[in-house]
Structure 1
Amino acid sequence: MVDSAIITDNSEVLLHFDLKLEDGSAADSTRVHNKPAKLVMGDGSLTPNFESCLRGLKAGDKKTFTLPPDDAFGMPNPDNIHHMERSKFNLDAPAEVGMIIGFTQPGGMEIPGIIRAVAGDSVTVDFNHPLAGETVVFSVEILKVK
Structure 2
Amino acid sequence: MVNIDDFVKRLEIILDYYALNASTFADRIGVQRSSMSHLLSGRNKPSLDFVMKILEVFPDVDLYWILNGKGSFPKTEEETIEKRTDTISEIKIPSTPFSANENNSVGDLFSDVNHKEEVKPEMQNFAGSQNSKINPEEGEIEKIVIFYKNGTFKAYAP
TM-score range, shorter chain: under 0.3
More strand per residue: 1 or 2?
Answer: 1
Higher relative contact order (CA 8 A, sep 6+): 1
Task: Name the TM-score, length of structure 1 as normaliser.
Answer: 0.23
Q: Which has the larger radius of gyration?
A: 2
Between Structure 1 and Structure 2, the one with more helix by share is 2
